[in-house]
Amino acid sequence: MPVWSVRETMAQLFSKRADSRLRLAIGFACAVLLLSCATGFALVRAGQTWAVGHPAEQPIPFSHAVHAGGLGLDCRFCHAGVERTADAGMPSAETCLGCHDRVWNVAAQFTPLRAALAGGTAVQWASVSRLPNHVRFDHAAHTTAGVGCVSCHGAVQEMPRTVRAETLSMGFCLDCHRDPTSGQPRAVETTTGGLPAGEAAFTPRPHGLRALRYRHFGVEVSPMTRCSTCHR
Ligand code: HEC
Ligand code: HEC
Ligand code: HEC
Ligand code: HEC
Ligand code: HEC
């Protein structure tokens, strides 16, 4: 009785041609899989996927370049909550009409302001920065730690129409949270960043996240990167 061999049996079952075709097919499948993984990764990292650089449709064609850049108005004049609360806050109709009531009254453009004033409501501005509901963000924590607006919103004072300057993806947040002192110095100025000029970037708050460490299953976890810091 001849010795049974897998190699010989296979050789009888599959011809040489079929064998090399199979090898080619497997090679091709691997290449397709690798390519689609690479494309997926590139798309997730790409700014375009996150609507970076696209303005939103606004009720009034407001320009930061005119008001913050040209007139030099402080960010806090209109976003009064940045240093004290989680929300930066939006200007009321009264804030705009302080200047646009009699002087610089471009009537048609300001109809939404008058409607808001008459109805006791707020102007419905569209957001270019809104995060999903499962993410928690806090402006005061960042501003008081010395992180300037420019780090996350770009050079807003130069924008004729407000656009998203950074992805604001989880990767973007974590890039800084892993090591807030790394990278290029992040400028903080009164008119462009909300904090007095010359103040050191990233002054750790005495009871802030960076002063804390948690032990979990014998592993030290920094609250800066802990899931529950940003997800509740
Ligand atoms: C005169 C009032 C005014 C001043 C001063 C001002 N803003 Fe605004 N800001 C607005 C208004 C109105 C909007 C909503 C319309 C828009 O997005 O353009 C807005 C929107 C924004 C947004 C987008 C918010 C979102 O939900 O996506 C950012 C970011 C922002 N401002 C940052 C700044 C920064 C940084 C400064 C200082 C350099 C500044 N603003 C100065 C009135 C102002
Ligand atoms: C400190 C005074 C002041 C405040 C407050 C102010 N503006 Fe203005 N705004 C001006 C001046 C001055 C101009 C005219 C600039 C020019 O003609 O070059 C202007 C221009 C405009 C224009 C015309 C835009 C353009 O591109 O020429 C719009 C629209 C406008 N403002 C909306 C607003 C809104 C909305 C608010 C409130 C969020 C507001 N402004 C708050 C002073 C102000
Ligand atoms: C560390 C990143 C970061 C910094 C620094 C930052 N912002 Fe924001 N900002 C955000 C994010 C993220 C949102 C969206 C928040 C959300 O959807 O809950 C936002 C939202 C806003 C809004 C929309 C209204 C609101 O309160 O949600 C305004 C206005 C704004 N920021 C202005 C500013 C100004 C002015 C500064 C500087 C004093 C500043 N931001 C600094 C990330 C940042
Ligand atoms: C450029 C750096 C930087 C970026 C970008 C950044 N953060 Fe932070 N974040 C900080 C610093 C610094 C602190 C404060 C550390 C401390 O308390 O000492 C902080 C604190 C926080 C806190 C804690 C607030 C509290 O209650 O104490 C939350 C939540 C947070 N960040 C969420 C986010 C989210 C969400 C994003 C992305 C949209 C983001 N951060 C992007 C630097 C950054
Ligand atoms: C510094 C803040 C921060 C920390 C820490 C953080 N996340 Fe996130 N995460 C975000 C932001 C911002 C988004 C929303 C991005 C978007 O879709 O706009 C997000 C989105 C997500 C999503 C939804 C996926 C998606 O694509 O929308 C999941 C799941 C998630 N995070 C899990 C985690 C887990 C697990 C951890 C802990 C290992 C963690 N996150 C820590 C900021 C954070």
Q: End-to-end CA distance of the chain, in Å?
A: 71
Task: Give the model's confidence band at 106: pLDDT under 50 very low, under 70 low, under 90 confident, else very high.
Answer: low
Instruction: Encode pLDDT of 123-149 as tens digits.
Output: 899 999 999 999 999 998 888 777 888
Pocket probe for ligand 3: among 129, 130, 156, 210, the residue whose CB has the most ligand atoms within 8 Å is 129
* Amino acid residing at 102: R
Predicted local confidence at residue 195, as pLDDT: 44
Instruction: Encode pLDDT of 182-217 as tens digits.
Output: 544 344 433 444 444 444 445 556 677 766 777 777
Instruction: Encode pLDDT of 62-92 as tens digits.
Output: 999 999 989 989 898 999 998 889 999 999 9
Tokens read off for 96: 């705009």
Residue 11 has pLDDT above 60, yes or no: yes
- How many other CB atoms are there within 10 angstroms of residue 74's CB atom? 14
Q: Is 122 in the pocket of ligand 2 (CB under 6 A)?
A: no
Q: What is the CA radius of gyration of the chain?
A: 28
Tokens read off for 185: 């110095």
Predicted local confidence at residue 50, as pLDDT: 79
Cβ proximity of 174 and 225 under 8 Å: yes
Pocket probe for ligand 2: among 90, 97, 100, 110, the residue whose CB has the most ligand atoms within 8 Å is 100
Which residue, 51, 41, 209, is CA-closest to 136?
209
Instruction: Encode pLDDT of 140-182 as tens digits.
Output: 888 877 788 888 998 899 999 999 999 999 999 998 888 776 5
Residue 214 sits at φ, ψ, to 5 deg, of: -120, 145
Pick 101 or 226 by higher pLDDT.
226
Tokens read off for 224: 């800066």
Which residue, 193, 158, 151, is CA-closest to 64?
158
